[in-house]
Chain A
Amino acid sequence: MYNFTFHRPTTVRQAAGLLGRNPEAKLLAGGHSLIPVMKQRLAQPSALIDLSKVEGMVGVELKGRSVTIGAMTRHADVANSTVLKEVMPGLAMVPGSIGDPQVRNRGTIGGSIANNDPNADYPAACLGLGATIITNKRRIVADDFFTGMFSTTLEDGEIIVKISFPIAKKAAYEKFKHPASGFALVGVFASKRGSDIRVAVTGAGSNGVFRVKSFEEALKKRFSPKSLEGLSIPATGMNADIHASPEYRAHLVGVLARRAVAKAVG
């Protein structure tokens, strides 16, 4: 690892100030994406700004018809949130599938979303529920937030503070784990909130998380796995690597979408 300076602000304002003063700085949330990359000497931030002591960034809260999760809330705490499991167990499934137990004990929702790894799970949940990402500067809807692999609309000096998920009565996540890394080889989040039906896919697309409009249309007639029978998506634009062919990933999108819908209605 290259060396850096280390900062531990206690307010979002301080953190933003540090970011402003250190253009090459990076925010440190759970660190479970950033530190491994730094260990490989593939990232060389001049400073790390540890958000773990910043007030008001942790917790799962029910607010009217939405659930708000603080950006520094760890995966294990979201997965085990009594509130969340009651109002939207489908969302709690997502952090419960990330990495391994030790990673879930440290990794955070904000870190995952800001990093937007194309194989990460939370981006599918954000897009699959129409979440709103709330930063120190503005509110960004998920459909605008994720802009490609490891790429978001976050600007310099912008810090994710919390994420607001509208509560969908029917929602579920199905994931086919990459056998080595535990990331999503393909993950599908499906939800129905009134007439808003969403099917979001992570892991499969060469440009990161995406929605499957054809599936969503089919589900509008009836939110049932039967509505997706025989439907598939084309292999073009799917990731191709040693772990899975584009055809296999496209096929899994169909399989997992049906399973997610079945789980959501079941």
Chain B
Amino acid sequence: MSATGIGAAVRRKEDFRFVTGKGQYTDDVVRPGETRAVFVRSPHAHAKIKSIDVSAAKKMPGVIDVLTGADLATDKIGNLICGWMIHSKDGTPMKMSAHPALAAGKVNCVGDAVAVVIAESIAQGKEAAEKVKVDYDVLQAVIDPAKAQAKGAPQIHADIPNNTIYQWHLGDPKATAAAFAAAKHVTKLDIVNNRLVPNAMEPRAALAEYDEGSDHLTLWSTSQNPHVARLVISAFVGITPEHKLRVIAPDVGGGFGSKIFIYPEEVVCLWASRKVKRPVKWTSDRSEAFLTDAHGRDHVTHAELALDADGKILALRAKTIANLGAYMSTFSSSVPTYLYATLLSGQYNIPSIYCEVDAVYTNTAPVDAYRGAGRPEAAFVVERLMEVTARQMAIDPADLRKRNFITAFPHQTPVIMAYDAGDFHASLKKALELADVKGFGKRKREAARHGKLRGLGYSAYIEACGIAPSQAVGSLGAGVGLWESAEVRVNPTGSVEVLTGCHAHGQGHETTFAQLVSERLGIPFDNVSIVHGDTDKVQFGMGTYGSRSGAVGMSAIVKALDKIEAKAKKVAAYVLEAAEGDIEFKDGKFTVAGTDKSAAWGDVALNAYIAHKFVGADLEPGLKETSFYDPTNFTFPAGCHICEVEVDIDTGKTDIVNWTAIDDFGTVINPMIVEGQVHGGIAQGVGQALLEGAVYSKEGQLVTGSMMDYTMPRAHDLPSFHVGLTTTKSPSNPLGIKGCGEAGAIAAPAAVINAITDAIGTEDLAMPATANAVWSALQRAKPRQVA
């Protein structure tokens, strides 16, 4: 392993600009003549708009224009769309409501945009926004997904009965029912997977500029996938043809899914910039972000596990209501279906699984993918069921898992996924050792002496990453392919630029991708640049989410490098005056087999461009290759996390006293970056389990609308983590990478709740397990404890 090659903890290329304050985020970009967009948003969760009067606002100082949904309709700007088709079990397609970028006659959640003020400054825009008079006819709202389908519930979209988007299912209902009928033990759980607000630290922003001379639009946007944004905005929303729109996603301050989607604000900025013929910028306030960023999770589930007398799992079934909010966000339909139910087999041999999912509209912010997206919800169902089963059957929870682990690969689950590699015993064993589970009893007794309840919780999770084989996802309803592209440009001096369709917003691609190129071509790490996030530079790409950049994005680079090597060998053959078949390439040097003749990488690169040693009829000059890599399967990162907690009996406050994470991510390019991804994922999972939860009042006001009320995990809420790896390589991509970005967020919630419920002796505990919630659970459990 070289100091900068695959497997080395190379320090990041990105960091110099970030630690010196020289990053360039969207709001840092300033264009000449720039104006500011301020949105007028609905204060009501559900209301008819009787009228909008913008006349007073238009007269305010600094106001350039005030636009409404009526103007949008006049200009024939299309709706935002959800790009993944789900069919209900009766075969009918999902029911997608209209979603105009500015409300058309009706608002369906607090924060719905009804008008936009374009002004010289934000302050002037805000002042004018207060003068926009909107006359609302307030309607009753429905917030609770479990009540959205009830008779008499408020009807959110007139053409969609019972607020039901789809009623989907997966698995074999008959076989599952039969297995349950024969079971010796059935575990039943009711689970609410709490709604989360992503809260990437950089709020969303959009800056649109119209160039009248070329009739060309440029959008700087906080996007995880600028090409998909361009495609949707042009082909579906119809702002302008694809070739007349450039989308740039510069430095982006975290995404976690929330910046995958195409939102009303960037559509409005583009449209408005063409109307006012000046650049239009919008930067979200945090308060706006709480209301308008797509939220995550929000499932209500009843789940059951059937086992025989020996603790062998016979079947699993689950019925879930998924709240998708007021509108279907870009990929919202896929999250509670193919990203969720397909993982309900966990790490276990489960002969039969049946899952039903109803997706519903409510008068809340749209819900879409948030770190893990469906897989945290699945892991929570499976791993809570396992822990509760172990307690009910009086089997050690590690032992119950061991009895049911899948050990032979490939393994076809009953829910589509075919696991291709893994060693679940290995990760559990290593976690048990690192967490010193043997010494837990002693620690528990010691804690009890100080008025603390100690608990231990496991989470043996699995996820499907490396998203995704295009044909497979196409057959499941995806509107796009999920391959990735890479273009490798070798310069005449031998330095290399790699253009990738992935987009980094914290993941360190500029470093890890360069490590791959450095190792493969044997050139200095510093001679490699990674270019991403600009549709004028990168031809096309699918962006970064679903832990796909390593497994899919880097595989595309490998494929492009294969082509580069092949072409360079042809050039080297001319340079070294040898047969192409005799040329060998190693450590940045071309040699002729069986001779001492050699040419350096730089010589060959230069010769590729000066083209003095060959003629065009024999070989094209230049050294640049492109690859579109489509994976053959998902990848299956898996592992075991063990959480140890202490609960203060008096206050109910939980402290995480130890965290052990053993993960199998396949090949690791940069262990420092991979560990960082694990840490961050765990923190978000712990946040979900202990601290975070979006709460709406029954009228539909977001009660947790700021960081004063929505608890973001802080440094003192978390411990340092003990992390380690076991490795089975993914057979589905050339590097053997599985992906690491979401593991922590998927594993953590179940580990935390399993630990707390172990400590307090009752399963009656919902997320977030705040001090109040844990104290209340203890109070409810008291009589039982006495008995």
Contacts and interface: CB of A to CB of B under 8 A. Distances in A.
B707 interface: yes
A247 B778 CA distance: 13
A242 B123 contact: no
A211 interface: no
B708 A245 contact: no
Contacts of A242: 695, 703-704, 709
Contact of B123 (A1, A245, A251): A1
B771 interface: yes
Interface stretch (A61-69, A161-169, A173-181): A173-181
Interface in A222-244: 242-244
A179 B707 CA distance: 10
Interface in B682-736: 691, 695, 703-704, 707-712, 717
A255 interface: yes
Contacts of B709: 180-181, 242-243
Interface string A165-199: 00000000000100111000000000000000000
Chain B: interface size category: 20 to 34
B691 A252 contact: no
B776 A248 contact: yes
Contact of B691 (A41, A179, A245, A248): A179
A41 B127 CA distance: 10
B775 interface: yes
Contact of B651 (A1, A180, A255): A255
Contact of A248 (B127, B130, B708, B772): B772
Contacts of B717: 179
Contacts of B776: 245, 247-248
B770 A180 contact: no
Contacts of A255: 650-651
A2 B123 CA distance: 8
Query: B123, B652, B711, B771 — which one has the most chain A CB atoms within 10 A of its CB?
Result: B771
B302 interface: no
Given A41-B126, A176-B651, A251-B775, A181 B770 contact: no
A95 to B, nearest CB: 18
A255 B771 CA distance: 13
Interface in A41-91: 41
Contacts of B775: 248, 251
Secondary structure at the A interface, as helix, strand, loop or mixed, is loop
B703 A179 contact: no
A261 to B, nearest CB: 14
A243 B651 contact: no
Contacts of A245: 772, 776
Interface string B73-116: 00000000000000000000000000000000000000000000
A252 B695 contact: no
B657 to A, nearest CB: 18
Given A179-B691, A180-B712, A255-B650, A244 B126 contact: no
Contacts of B708: 180-181
Nearest to A179: B711
A219 to B, nearest CB: 19
Contacts of A176: 651, 653, 771
Nearest to A39: B285
A25 B143 CA distance: 41
Contacts of A2: 127
A4 to B, nearest CB: 12
A40 B775 CA distance: 34
Interface of A: 1-3, 40-41, 176, 179-181, 242-245, 247-248, 251-252, 255
13 contacts: A176-B653, A180-B707, A180-B710, A180-B711, A181-B708, A181-B709, A242-B695, A242-B709, A243-B770, A243-B772, A248-B772, A251-B775, A255-B651
Interface of B: 123, 126-127, 130, 287, 650-653, 691, 695, 703-704, 707-712, 717, 770-772, 775-776
